[in-house]
Structure formats: C-alpha cells, structure tokens
Amino acid sequence: MLDVKNLIVFFENAIALNDFSFQVNDGEFVGVVGPNSAGKTTLMNTLSGLIIDMQIKEKRKGGERITVYGSIVYRGRDITQTKPSERVRRGIVLSRERHPIFPESSVLENLKIAGFLRRKQEIREGIDFAFQLFPALVALKKKKAGFLSGGEQQMLAIGMALIVKPELLLLDEPLLGLSPMMQNTLMDAIVSLNKQRGITVVLCEQFARPVFPVIDRGYILENGMLTLMGTGKELMQNPEIKAAYFGI
C-alpha cells in the first residue's frame, strides 16, 4: 500500500530523517517507536504531505529551508510532491500530535469541520460511528472542545480523523500525556479500527509498552534513522529494546 524509499529530510542543515525506507501493507498495523527528536513527527508530516505545505510557506516568508529527497509511493502512485489536501482525498489521513482539535468550536462542530471533504450523509454516519467508538463523547457534544480533558480531546481527534474515512490512518503520538487507563482505552479503539474496520494504521509513539503487544510490525527510529525492525513479538524479545524501553 505504502512504499517509502530513501527518505531524507533536512531543516536547513539539520537532518531530521536520514535514509528512511519502509513499507506498509494493506490492513497492517505498523508502529514506529522512538525517543524525542527521533524524527517521528517529521516522518508523519512527510507522509501526510504537511511538509510540502510547510516548505511552500517557509519559502514565501524567506524562512527555514526544508529539503525532501526520496520517494513515497502510495497504491502504485508517486505522491512525494502531492499536496496534503490531495493526499487526504486519496485516503491518507493524519491525526497530529498534541490533540489536534479546534478548541473554540464545540465537539459536534469539530467533527463537522473534519468532514470538509465529505457529503452531509457521510458526515452524519461518521459522527454516529465516532460516538459509537467513544461513547464518552456523546454527553460532551455541545461542549467547547478546548474545555475537554486531554483524553477526551484525543478521542475527539481520532473521531475527527475517522470522519474523513481514512484508508491509511497516520497517528502521531496519540498517547501523549494520557493516563495508563486512558492509553488502554485508546489503544483498544485503535486496534478495533484496524482489525474490524480494516483501516491500515501507522502509529508513532514514545511508549513501547502499550504499542508492541498490538502491532503487526514495528520499527525503532533513532536520530532520523531506522535502527531495528521486526514483528511486535520479536521486538519485545529483543534484549536491547528490553533494556532501553522496558527497563528490564
């Protein structure tokens, strides 16, 4: 489904992704785990095309020079230079890190804004589905999204991504700043999206513990480079990872 080859991303002279290659197959759940500043967000922005927009806007302002090398092929088409809105149309949907919601609008309005590309009927179905997946949101639908708790905001963020009907869902640190219990709730929901709805998921996280047990394949990203890969089980058994991520 997704074939990324030799991706190199520079912000001015600082390298954020260094020769990154990986594949994602249809229906897979892929985890990318790495510490802060490993390049996870840059990877997500590059896959979703946000980096193209950042590139254009920085250039207009005469700001930071962003350079991208390599190729991203999605369903047989090269999308390396495709605008983010076009990638969304083709089913690649990113949920950004730090609860990407519209704080001044109500929960319901947030979901409607997210459905910009969809028809009224599809939005209605999407909203029903989001409420079914996260029943906690139903009681909050008139509330301003900015007043929700971190966990509620993250549920909303994932609900918003679902309205777009993703085929490839990119999740950038969805567990950031959440309690272990909320992390479990969210991971359960994400797994059900992958297994029952057949949505292909690529998830970036710092926490390995909730991620490795549920993913099909995982990658370890450090300093913009892939250092290890394997199935979730293989990674959990790896002594280096045990020491670095599980503290055993």
Partner 1 sequence: MFAGTLVYAIVNSFTLILLAIGFNLTFGISGVANFAYGALYVLSAYLSWMMMNLLGLPFFPSVILSILATTLFGALMYRLVLLRVRGQALSEVIATFGIGLSILELFRYLGFVGFEYTLPVFFDHSFIIAGTYIDMQRISIVVLGFLLVVLLWLFTHHTSTGLAFRGIAQDERTALTFGIDSDWIATLSVSLGAGLAAIAATIIIPLGSISPSEGYDVLIKALAVCIIGGLGSTGGVIAAGFFIGFAERFTDTYFGSHWTMIVSLIAILIVLVIKPSGLFGQQKELEERI
Q: What string of DSSP letters covers 57-117?
A: HHHHHT---EEEEEEEEETTEE-TT--HHHHHHTTEEEE-SS----TTSBHHHHHHHHTTT
Per-residue binding letters, 16-55, with partner 1 (x by CB under 8 A): --------------------------------x-x--x--
Residue found by looking up tokens 């759940």 in the block: 29
Measured CA to CA, the distance from residue 22 to residue 149 in angstroms comes to 35
Please choose, out of 27-35, 90-98, 132-140, 182-190, the segment that lies near partner 1 by the rule CB under 8 A: 90-98
Minimal CA–CA distance to 65: which of 8, 9, 5, 18? 9
Number of chain positions touching partner 1 (CB under 8 A): 32
Q: How many residues does the chain have?
A: 248
Tell me whether residue 73 or residue 117 sits nearer to partner 1 (CB atom). Answer: 117
Please choose, out of 77-85, 174-182, 199-207, 219-227, the segment that lies near partner 1 by the rule CB under 8 A: 77-85
Please choose, out of 15-23, 25-33, 115-123, 184-192, the segment that lies near partner 1 by the rule CB under 8 A: 115-123
The burial of 139, by beta-carbon neighbours within 10 Å (0-12 exposed, 13-18 middle, 19 or more buried), is given as: exposed
**In angstroms, what is the minimal distance from the CB of 236 to partner 1?**
31
109: phi then psi, degrees, rounded to nearest 5 = -65, -40
Which residue of 84, 150, 177, 230 would you call a contact of partner 1, by CB under 8 A? Answer: 84
Measured CA to CA, the distance from residue 213 to residue 229 in angstroms comes to 14
For residue 160, state whether it binds partner 1 (rule: CB under 8 A).
yes
Which residue of 19, 28, 64, 109 would you call a contact of partner 1, by CB under 8 A? Answer: 109
For residue 154, state whether it binds partner 1 (rule: CB under 8 A).
no
Tell me whether residue 49 or residue 218 sits nearer to partner 1 (CB atom). Answer: 49
Check the CA dihedral 244-38-80-116 and report its sign: positive
**In angstroms, what is the minimal distance from the CB of 94 to partner 1?**
5
For residue 236, state whether it binds partner 1 (rule: CB under 8 A).
no
Measured CA to CA, the distance from residue 185 to residue 3 in angstroms comes to 30
Residues contributing to the site for partner 1 (CB under 8 A): 48, 50, 53, 57, 60-61, 63, 83-85, 88-89, 93-96, 100-105, 109, 112-117, 160-161, 164
